[in-house]
Amino acid sequence: MTRLHNHCLTIQAFLILLLFSSSIASAAIVEHVFHVKNVVVKPLCKEQMVPAVNGSLPGPTINVREGDTLVVHVINNSTYNITIHWHGVFQLKSSWMDGANLISQCPIQPTNNFTYRFDITGQEGTLLWHAHVVNLRATLHGALIIRPRSGRPYPFPKPYKEVPIIFEQWWDIDIGLLGIQPAPVSDAYLINGLAGDSYPCSKNRMFKLKVVQGKTYLLRIINAALNTHLFFKIANHNVTVVALDAIYTTPYLTDVMVLTPGQTIDALLTADQPLGMYHMSITPYTSAIGIPIPTNMTITSLLVYEGAATSSSPALPLMPALNDTPTAHRFSSSITGLAGGPHWKPVPDHVDEKMFITMGLGLDPCPSDTKCIGPVGQRFVGSLNNRTFVNPETVSLQEAYFYDITGVYTDDFPDQPPLIFDYTNFKLRTNSDYKMMFPERKTSVKTLRYNSTVEVVLQNTAIITAESHPMHLHGFNFYVLGYGIGNYDPIHDARKLNLFNPQMHNTVGVPPGGWVVLRFIANNPGVWLFHCHMDAHLPYGIMMAFIVQNGPTPETSLLPPPSNLPQCTRDPTIYESPTTNVDLSY
Ligand SMILES: *[C@@H]1O[C@H](CO)[C@@H](O)[C@H](O)[C@H]1NC(C)=O
Ligand SMILES: *[C@@H]1O[C@H](CO)[C@@H](O)[C@H](O)[C@H]1NC(C)=O
Ligand SMILES: *[C@@H]1O[C@H](CO)[C@@H](O)[C@H](O)[C@H]1NC(C)=O
Ligand SMILES: *[C@@H]1O[C@H](CO)[C@@H](O)[C@H](O)[C@H]1NC(C)=O
Ligand SMILES: *[C@@H]1O[C@H](CO)[C@@H](O)[C@H](O)[C@H]1NC(C)=O
Ligand SMILES: *[C@@H]1O[C@H](CO)[C@@H](O)[C@H](O)[C@H]1NC(C)=O
Ligand SMILES: *[C@@H]1O[C@H](CO)[C@@H](O)[C@H](O)[C@H]1NC(C)=O
Ligand SMILES: *[C@@H]1O[C@H](CO)[C@@H](O)[C@H](O)[C@H]1NC(C)=O
Ligand SMILES: CC(=O)N[C@H]1CO[C@H](CO)[C@@H](O)[C@@H]1O
Ligand SMILES: [Cu+2]
């Protein structure tokens, strides 16, 4: 009897083996339905109606393997216009699936649906999906976990378990009703949907991670907060960072992490401390210089060792001060890329396009019938090289490009600011006579030749305030060759850039009153947004777009849009004569 049983097991094992070996050869199609609808949740004391995917906050986690095709049918039963952006996914040759509202598509309007379909190749780790419509990302987000193809190992010891940890920012209002107004000060932060002990009505409703002593866990950490950078610490434990933004890093041991909105970290945590309970806490990092900082607060979750006495009081981590820029800067700038690791490509040593972009806030004259809260009675806007980006309204930018519709955008985003000045000098802060104080409102783009190598120096200014802006590039990872404080020195600082094993990102926090140098290869045709990932800065227009031209072959060219791409207008004349749009001058 026993023998027979064993025999069956062997056959079963053999079949499983067969199954595995066949999945090495063929990548899977992973298909999901997202029902977006308004639901009532109560993370704090009050019931609140919010749009959510499948009624859950955070939304469902998507698991894929590198090489898979992901298909998500999004059905909009909410009362809002939505799009879903697959944050950090390269979307190689599938830019219509990028989900950037008014850039790669018009929104999916209430009662409508749209199917996103794309391959996930050349990247592994943790990313997120989120709505790409101002403010709606607050409740429409979730984890997107990309594991190696079956049979391929991680470049670190296999963890015992993997745990998504999602940080969120919460408002006790229907945030969608704000339209494009920046959200006010938030009411709470959540960890995996729970506010925890820091708030009166959520005591004991806290995310708890149960661990076995001696085992190692892979934390897949996502900052889905709309507008806040967050420090993260675990009492009495160090972690080893192994990936940022779904690209592996040199293992980096640390006791503190900081994530800008939109960034992700994969970190190994070994339960190597005495049996007990330990707080895992977040606290905001507010980098704005010269703007009052909010009351400090720490939001916690719990690490609970199996076998620990539940009566023991959990250890607390000592959190950095809210404005601890040195700690944030040290963590962000010290990590290096895993040169030679999976999906690593050497840094190109030549540069075809050099850009220097000043970034920060500016002012816009206050409309006569309105009261504006900015300095000298004006309202805030964003500025990239003295430009404030204005979204198109009647057609997406990518359709305007693909169908050659004139009057939607201008191809004149400048490579340099119109003025060379002492960018980080605080004396300029409130000088409304200053020549870069009132940027030009425009939908301007920068066109890049297919396959060109682009270097961008992002220089944070002190106009109005110096603040860390997390700049996010759609469609690409970029190398971060260097970070610094002050004005970038093109001779001295350029010599110190890391061209060997720089970290890579899709979102980088540019230090307050500082700079970063990025490099990427424009090998993905289409229109790609580059913008501040603090959601409040989207309506300010801290945004621009790159148009990457087609390469020489159909394989390197932008395909026509899917026939059911949501439209802003139903005017058929716009779509009469699609051109093939292959750049023959290449
Ligand atoms: C969302 O809910 C629908 C049913 O309402 C279900 O079919 C689908 O699998 C769920 N999606 C995910 C990603 O869990
Ligand atoms: C969404 O709305 C459609 C059309 O009104 C309806 O058929 C469907 O049942 C709704 N689904 C959910 C999950 O509410
Ligand atoms: C999606 O929209 C199309 C076109 O309006 C409609 O025919 C289809 O039934 C919708 N699918 C779902 C699942 O709602
Ligand atoms: C964390 O790492 C630091 C630096 O290596 C070390 O001094 C400290 O003892 C470590 N702490 C724990 C709890 O392992
Ligand atoms: C938070 O506020 C308390 C009381 O005002 C203060 O003692 C503490 O140092 C502050 N902590 C941080 C991290 O700023
Ligand atoms: C910035 O743009 C504004 C608005 O177009 C313009 O008036 C100003 O001269 C520009 N600044 C510089 C330095 O060119
Ligand atoms: C793009 O650049 C890469 C590396 O420089 C090169 O191998 C490839 O052939 C180029 N592709 C095209 C279509 O020019
Ligand atoms: C929803 O999208 C449509 C098409 O772009 C637009 O006309 C409408 O104004 C949008 N509604 C809201 C509330 O933004
Ligand atoms: C049947 C159903 O749930 N229909 C809803 C779909 O979504 C729209 C917009 O929220 C509602 O008005 C319908 O009642
Ligand atoms: Cu910003």
3-class SS string, 244-262: ECCEEEEEEEECEEEECCC
Instruction: Return d(Cα 146, Cα 129) in angstroms, integer.
Output: 12
Mean pLDDT confidence for 249-263: 98
Which amino acid residue places its CA nearest to atom 5 of ligand 8? 568
Does ligand 8 lie within 6 Å of residue 525's CB atom? no
Does ligand 8 lie within 6 Å of residue 302's CB atom? no
Nearest to 283 by CA among 329, 255, 317: 317
Residue 579 has pLDDT above 70, yes or no: no
Q: What is the pLDDT of residue 295?
A: 64
Contact 525, 550 (CB under 8 A): yes
Tokens representing 75 are: 């059905």
Q: What is the pLDDT of residue 432?
A: 58
Residue with the bigger pLDDT between 120 and 202: it is: 120
Tokens representing 7 are: 């025999």
Where residue 544 falls among pLDDT bands split at 50, 70, 90?
Answer: very high
Q: Do domains 22-147 and 353-575 have the same CATH topology?
A: yes
Where residue 297 falls among pLDDT bands split at 50, 70, 90?
Answer: confident
Where residue 294 falls among pLDDT bands split at 50, 70, 90?
Answer: low
Where residue 11 falls among pLDDT bands split at 50, 70, 90?
Answer: very low
Does ligand 6 lie within 6 Å of residue 203's CB atom? no
For 353-575, the fitting CATH number among 1.20.120.1200, 3.30.43.10, 1.10.1040.10, 2.60.40.420 is 2.60.40.420
Mean pLDDT confidence for 444-469: 94
Query: Which residues does 420 contact at the CB level (< 8 Å), separation at least 6?
Result: none
Mean pLDDT confidence for 36-54: 95
Ligand 6 atom nearest the C-alpha of 419 is 13
Q: What is the pLDDT of residue 222?
A: 98
CA within 13 Å, CB half, 410: 11
Query: Which residues does 9 contact at the CB level (< 8 Å), separation at least 6?
Result: none
Between the CA of 438 and the centroid of ligand 4 the distance, in Å, is 49
Mean pLDDT confidence for 138-144: 98
Query: Which residues does 135 contact at the CB level (< 8 Å), separation at least 6?
Result: 175, 176, 178, 179, 180, 183, 226, 535
Which amino acid residue places its CA nearest to atom 3 of ligand 7? 451
CA 47, 48, 51, 52 torsion-angle sign: negative
Instruction: Please give the angle made by the CA atoms of 477, 243 and 351, to the nearest 5 degrees.
Output: 30
How many helical (H) and strand (E) elements, i.e. helices and strands, does the chain have? 3, 32
Per domain, the residue ranges of the chain are 22-147, 161-334, 353-575
Does ligand 4 lie within 6 Å of residue 352's CB atom? no
Neighbours of 406 (CB within 10 A): 7
Ligand 2 atom nearest the C-alpha of 35 is 13
Mean pLDDT (the chain) is 90
Mean pLDDT confidence for 549-561: 96
Ligand nearest to the backbone CA of 49 = 9
SS3 95: helix
Instruction: Return d(Cα 120, Cα 219) in angstroms, integer.
Output: 21
Between the CA of 35 and the centroid of ligand 1 the distance, in Å, is 7
Where residue 288 falls among pLDDT bands split at 50, 70, 90?
Answer: confident
Q: Is pTM beyond 0.95 here? A: no
Contact 237, 217 (CB under 8 A): no
Which amino acid residue places its CA nearest to atom 9 of ligand 6? 435
Q: What is the pLDDT of residue 578?
A: 32
Mean pLDDT confidence for 164-175: 94
Does ligand 6 lie within 6 Å of residue 440's CB atom? yes
Between the CA of 129 and the centroid of ligand 9 the distance, in Å, is 24
Nearest to 467 by CA among 510, 517, 421, 518: 510
Nearest to 529 by CA among 262, 221, 248: 262
CA within 13 Å, CB half, 540: 27
Q: To the nearest whole percent, how much of the chain has pLDDT over 90?
A: 76
Instruction: Return d(Cα 59, Cα 86) in angstroms, integer.
Output: 13
pLDDT 10s digits, 81-94: 999 999 999 999 99
Query: Which residues does 6 contact at the CB level (< 8 Å), separation at least 6?
Result: none
Nearest to 121 by CA among 76, 144, 89, 75: 89
Q: What is the pLDDT of residue 190?
A: 96
Contact 483, 516 (CB under 8 A): yes
Does ligand 2 lie within 6 Å of residue 205's CB atom? no
Compute CA distances 169 → 183, 185, 236, 469, whole Å: 11, 10, 26, 17
Instruction: Please give the angle made by the CA atoms of 511, 512 and 513, to the nearest 5 degrees.
Output: 105
Give the helix/strand (H/E) hosting 70. Answer: strand 69-77
Residue with the bigger pLDDT between 292 and 21: it is: 292
Between the CA of 502 and the centroid of ligand 7 the distance, in Å, is 22
Ligand nearest to the backbone CA of 385 = 6
Between the CA of 410 and the centroid of ligand 8 the distance, in Å, is 23
Residue 3 has pLDDT above 50, yes or no: no
Residue 162 has pLDDT above 60, yes or no: yes
Between the CA of 34 and the centroid of ligand 2 the distance, in Å, is 12
CA within 13 Å, CB half, 314: 23
**Residue-wise over 42-76: b if at least 16 C-beta within 10 A, else e?**
ebbeeebebbbbeeebbbbbbebbbbbbbebebbb
Does ligand 1 lie within 6 Å of residue 32's CB atom? yes
Between the CA of 354 and the centroid of ligand 7 the distance, in Å, is 19
Residue 528 has pLDDT above 70, yes or no: yes
pLDDT 10s digits, 359-414: 998 888 888 888 887 777 888 889 999 999 999 999 999 999 999 999 999 999 99
Q: What is the pLDDT of residue 357?
A: 98
Residue 34 has pLDDT above 70, yes or no: yes
**Residues forming a β-bridge with 144:** 62, 127
Nearest to 483 by CA among 453, 506, 525, 511: 511
Q: What is the pLDDT of residue 151?
A: 92
Report the Cα–Cα distance between both ends of the chain, in Å, rounded. Answer: 72
Question: Is 161-334 assigned to CATH 2.60.40.420?
Answer: yes
Neighbours of 160 (CB within 10 A): 14
Which amino acid residue places its CA nearest to atom 3 of ligand 8? 568
Q: To the nearest whole percent, how much of the chain has pLDDT over 70?
A: 90
Residue 429 has pLDDT above 90, yes or no: no
Q: Amino acid identity, residue 313? A: S
SS3 276: coil
Tokens representing 279 are: 């707080």
Q: What is the pLDDT of residue 433?
A: 61
Query: Which residues does 490 contact at the CB level (< 8 Å), separation at least 6?
Result: 457
Nearest to 58 by CA among 139, 134, 116, 119: 139
**Residue-wise over 287-305: b if at least 16 C-beta within 10 A, else e?**
bebeeeeeeeebbbbbbbb
Instruction: Return d(Cα 161, Cα 333) in angstroms, integer.
Output: 28
Q: What is the pLDDT of residue 292?
A: 60
Question: Is 22-147 assigned to CATH 2.60.40.420?
Answer: yes
Mean pLDDT confidence for 257-266: 98
Please state whether 570 falls in left (phi above 0), alpha (psi between -120 and 50) or beta: alpha
Mean pLDDT confidence for 99-113: 97
- Which of 77, 82, 108, 109, when mutated, tests ligand 2's pocket best, judged by the most ligand atoms within 8 Å of its CB? 77
Mean pLDDT confidence for 512-540: 95
Tokens representing 135 are: 């403010």
SS3 224: coil
Where residue 14 falls among pLDDT bands split at 50, 70, 90?
Answer: very low
Instruction: Return d(Cα 351, Cα 517) in angstroms, integer.
Output: 12
Ligand 5 atom nearest the C-alpha of 320 is 13
